Structure 1
Amino acid sequence: MTHATLRTRRDAVEAVTELFQQKVGAASMVALRELVAALQRPSPVGDTLARAVVSILDETPAARKLTGSGLGEVLSQTDADARLDTLTVDDENDEWAATELLGAGETAARLGIARASLDNWRRAHKILAFRKGVRNFVYPARQFARQGPLEGLDRVRQHFDADDTAWEWLVTPNRFTGGIEPIEWLRKGKVDDVAHAAEGALDYQ
């Protein structure tokens, strides 16, 4: 065996060793533990050791090369909106707001109260209202029972910065209210439980 052959083989071993060290450095803890366990055996089983090495080599992703032709054409606002319309769909995550909403006049008539009472409840946050236009409001029908608001709505509202935020929380199943909508607990008279849950609601957002 010539000196040149020895040098070639030594270079090859060093190159393979360096590559393996790079792979080990990028390997996950699971793969490294598997390799260490195989090496710590008094007489490492060839198959086990081979699997550990292959696991490290296989899990390391190859370098990725960016491809593409750069920025596309600049679109006008109209064209951009049209293209977005073809690529997107309406988000229905706000279905909570699809609860029956009534105007002030209809709400007052259904409850059999004066419209002024409705306005007073809204200003005192005893009921929740969504603004419609500059001066008008609409009211979720579910927040009323008989001729007035559900008890405890004002205690819930004080923990939120807006009526719509409070309403979304009220109609979303909650683990602190047994996996059901908090508003249903209000209907059952569990006012203190709902108020306590609302108190910590923002801590988990």
Structure 2
Amino acid sequence: MVAITRKSQVDAGVGVHSAALADLLKVLARHNPGLSRPALVATGKMMAVVSAAAARLSVEQQRRLAADETELAHIVEVAVAELAAKPSQALVEVSVEKPVEVSRGAGVGQLVDLEEGRQRLAQFATPTRLEDWAGPVAGPGDIEKMFGTKRSTLHEWHKRGAVIGLLKGERKHVFPVAQFVDGRPIEGMSQITKIIHNPRVAWQWLIQPKSSIGGTPLDNLKKGNLDEVLDAANRDFG
């Protein structure tokens, strides 16, 4: 069996300055008012290429070509006609020993309405409590009891990204307890939240072990390895 494939052609290309092409188009338009815009542009490009190629010849070569304008016009006409007759891409025969297998996918399957789709999805999606993946969390009141941190101070920390607050319910924010050391935010947390803008994504990233830094980013921040953690965050999210 023989298969046909396309082979791209290498265009040697002759540099044509855009300003020179623009000048040629103006001259063509003035002397050929009935020429359509696409034909005008195509003709101008061909003339520009021929002119650029001729300019690269020696003076003696140019003189010989210009000596017989009729012959030169015939040569150019034949060359252009041959190029126009060629396909834009050459076809190459490729021998294939085995028969080509024609396959077809199963498609998207049966379409269902929105409600049934939600019911089917609910069979696979299992609700997970925030504490199950984020670890111990506490609201502003509990943070104040645990660390003596005033609500206004916690709000300011949260506002500038020094602590991560996770939305629980529609409006209530809770704060993972592990991000506090002696009642204060871990150094570098505000820099992390500038790189990872989504608080849930940021906290999940902080508590997942990373082999490149030898542990979780959160533990490394507590050890003072801020530069290593920032480098890892920039690699993953920068």
Q: Normalising TM by the smaller chain, what interval? A: 0.5 to 0.7
Alignment pair present for 1:159 and 2:195: yes
Using the TM superposition, give the Cα deviation of residue 127 of structure 1 relative to its aligned residue in structure 2, in angstroms.
Answer: 0.7
2:212 partner SS:
helix
Q: Distance in 2 between matches of 1:161 and 1:155?
A: 10
Are 1:181 and 2:216 an aligned pair?
Answer: yes
Q: Secondary structure at the match of 2:163?
A: coil
CA distance in 2 between counterparts of 1:169 and 1:190 reads 16
- Letter paired with 1:173: P
Counterpart Cα distance in 1 of 2:132 and 2:236:
17
1:70-89, aligned counterparts within 5 Å?
72=110, 75-86=112-123, 88-89=124-125
Counterpart residue number, 1:110: 146
Cα deviation for residue 110 of structure 1 reads 1.1
Aligned pair count reads: 148
SS in 1 for 2:221: helix
1:162 is displaced (CA, Å) by: 2.7
Q: How does 1:25-44 map to 2 (within 5 A)?
A: none
CA displacement, residues 110-151 of structure 1 (integer Å, 9 cap, x when unaligned): 112212211111112111112335543110111111221111
Report which structure shows greater RCO (CA 8 Å, sep ≥6).
Answer: 2
Is 2:134–2:204's contact at 8 Å kept on the other side of the alignment?
A: no
Q: CA deviation at 1:170?
A: 1.2
Deviation of residue 67 (structure 1)?
A: 7.0
Q: Specify the SS of the correspondent of 1:177.
A: coil
SS at match of 1:200: helix
What TM-score, normalized to structure 2?
0.50
Amino acid at match of 1:82: Q
Find the counterpart in structure 1 of residue 126 from structure 2: 90
The structure that has the greater radius of gyration is: 2
The aligned runs of 1:113-152 (5 Å cut-off) are 113-133=149-169, 135-152=171-188
Q: Verify the 8 A CA contact 1:173 1:181 in the aligned structure 2.
A: yes
Q: Residue type matched to 1:190 in 2?
A: N
Distance in 1 between residues matched to 2:160 and 2:121, nearest whole Å? 42
1:65–1:116 distance in 2 versus 1, CA, 3 Å: closer
Q: State the percentage of identical aligned residues.
A: 24
Residues 79/157 of structure 1: CA separation in 2 closer, same or farther (3 Å cut): closer
Aligned residue for 2:121, secondary structure, equals: helix
Work out whether residues 156 and 199 of structure 1, in 8 Å CA contact, stay in contact via their aligned partners in 2.
no
